[in-house]
Structure 1
Amino acid sequence: MAEEAKGGGLEFHPMDQFLVKPLFGGDAVHWYTVTNVTLWMAIAVLAIAALMVLGTSGRAIVPNRVQSIAELFYGFVYKMVEDVTGKDGVKYFPYIMTLFVFIFFSNFLGLIPMSFTTTSHIAVTAVLAIAVFLTVTILGFVKNGAGFLSLFWVSAAPLALRPILAVIEIISYFVRPVSHSIRLAGNMMAGHAVLKVFAGFAAIAAISPVSVLAVVAIYGLEVLVSAIQAYVFTILTCVYLKDALHPHH
């Protein structure tokens, strides 16, 4: 976590926790290499399956704790989709639910000491964001045809301003996957880096009590951020889906 530098001080490497490393020999990473990223993604998937499939297999009228948590996830996301997109968007609930629980579990598993936060990597969040972007764009044209282009034409604005606003709307639309992915990855990476820096200061006896208190406070903040970022990614997906289903301003 913190090492003695040659000059006698402390040397921190807070970004080392984000390095992609093969699990079985060698340093080269190929598309087929099993790495710490794929390991923790698999753990997230297994945890989700354990909660949503095994935990609800009994379908008890009086649910146990695991079933109650699964139903809480289900109800929360279903209400979000229904409120933002309307009844038309409910049919896409399974996809949005999958996004939410995957990001939620990945974020929280990353808070376990010595684990790996997969959502801190732009390669992971970019795939999720691009998948959302392509899905809603294709859906928009399938559902509305050329009428989907009305999303970029602000009919309520004065006629002279509409072309300018259309350019702005088009640019903002194609920037969506960038902001969608960087927001999640950036928040997770920044929080974990700060957490490791303060943990490194715990090696200095004079400030170790302050450092420990700071770690506890930041860890509590990271718990909150992990939940909020899963919510933000999901609700933005719902907003984009709403635009695809109802593009008219």
Structure 2
Amino acid sequence: MATEEHSEGGLVFHPFDQFNVYPLFGDGPVHWYTITNVTLWLGLAALLIIAVFVIGSSGRKLIPSRIQSVGELAYDFIYKMVEDVAGHDGAKYFPVVMTLFLFILSANMLGLLPMSFTTTSHIAVTAVLGFGVFLFVTLLGLFKHGFGFLGLFWMKDAPLALRPVIAIIEVISYFVRPVTHSIRLAGNIMAGHAVIKVFAGFAAIAAISPAAIVAITAMYGLEVLVAFIQAYVFTMLTCVYLKDALHPGH
């Protein structure tokens, strides 16, 4: 987490220290195989999903328990999104979309716990998700349509003279998708947590402590909403990209 230091000039705090990656065991350098705080909180996100959807649904009842109700609401919500956006053909890929939504939402929510680590604030994590979605929908489109998938970039309804220009723009925007997809999630999560930490630093100053505490409370409530919205936006865009892969013609 971020640290505060007292100096002659007042309080000094480092709101971005909370995003530092460090080994869980020892103080050596971080390698690709090192078990870090990121590894821990990614694992906890997976365990949370298992707890809600595996353990919680193991004793399904006609009158659902609270945890079963949460699972059923999430299932219906995402299934309807996939079917509405990607069409009936996209429903068969519902497990992929559902997994993405649950993982991002769980990671975002766990990051709001005191002394926790927000894995989705790191571009290394969100880039894997963004580029993973990009590769999945691209390979799916090529597998289902072959060269017909290239029709995604050719606007048949546009004037003939403009079609090559529009095609170039479409190609560029297509390959930018995984970058914007991943940066949007990481940037929004990181910004919110940094602002909360800044207000937390101000809370240590007696003169403005009450106002800072109110601001922290408001920001925390906003971050709970942002945690859900960012998971929703990432999933919704995945459904849009899935629709393009299944129906590439304009």
Q: TM bucket by the smaller chain?
A: over 0.9
Q: Following TM superposition, by how much is the alpha carbon of 1:61 offset from its aligned partner in structure 2, in angstroms?
A: 1.2
Q: How does 1:162-241 map to 2 (within 5 A)?
A: 162-241=163-242
Taking only aligned residues, the RMSD between alpha carbons, in angstroms, comes to: 0.7
> Who is 1:84 aligned against?
85
Q: What is the DSSP-based 3-state SS (H/G/I as helix, E as strand, rest coil) of the residue aligned with 1:163? A: helix
Matched, 1:36 2:37: yes
Once the two structures are overlaid, the 10-residue window that deviates more, 44-53 or 24-33, is 24-33
> Who is 2:139 aligned against?
138
Distance 1:145 1:175 in 2: 22
Q: What is the DSSP-based 3-state SS (H/G/I as helix, E as strand, rest coil) of the residue aligned with 1:3? A: strand
> Who is 1:118 aligned against?
119
Distance 2:54 2:91 in 1: 21
Q: Following TM superposition, by how much is the alpha carbon of 1:156 offset from its aligned partner in structure 2, in angstroms?
A: 1.0
For the 8 Å contact 1:2–1:203, the answer to whether it is kept is: no
Structure 1 runs of 4+ aligned residues shifted over 3 Å read: none
> Who is 1:93 aligned against?
94
Sequence identity percentage: 70
> Who is 1:27 aligned against?
28
Instruction: Select 1:4's aligned residue among 3, 6, 10.
Output: 6
Which deviations, in whole Å up to 9, do the C-alpha atoms of 1:223-245 show, x marking residues without a partner? 11000000000000000000000
Letter aligned with residue 10 of structure 2: G
Distance 1:235 1:30 in 2: 34
Q: Following TM superposition, by how much is the alpha carbon of 1:58 offset from its aligned partner in structure 2, in angstroms?
A: 1.1
Distance 2:27 2:115 in 1: 20
Letter aligned with residue 66 of structure 2: R
Unmatched segments (≥5 aa) in structure 2? none
Matched, 1:154 2:155: yes
Distance 2:220 2:109 in 1: 11
Distance 1:184 1:27 in 2: 30
Distance 1:59 1:83 in 2: 27
> Who is 2:103 aligned against?
102
Distance 2:133 2:80 in 1: 19
Which deviations, in whole Å up to 9, do the C-alpha atoms of 1:96-127 show, x marking residues without a partner? 10000000000000000100000000000000
Distance 1:21 1:30 in 2: 10
Letter aligned with residue 150 of structure 1: G
Q: Give the TM-score normalised by structure 1.
A: 0.98
Q: Following TM superposition, by how much is the alpha carbon of 1:65 offset from its aligned partner in structure 2, in angstroms?
A: 0.4
For the 8 Å contact 1:3–1:10, the answer to whether it is kept is: yes
Q: Following TM superposition, by how much is the alpha carbon of 1:34 offset from its aligned partner in structure 2, in angstroms?
A: 0.9
Distance 2:58 2:92 in 1: 23
Distance 1:218 1:168 in 2: 38
Q: How does 1:41-52 map to 2 (within 5 A)?
A: 41-52=42-53
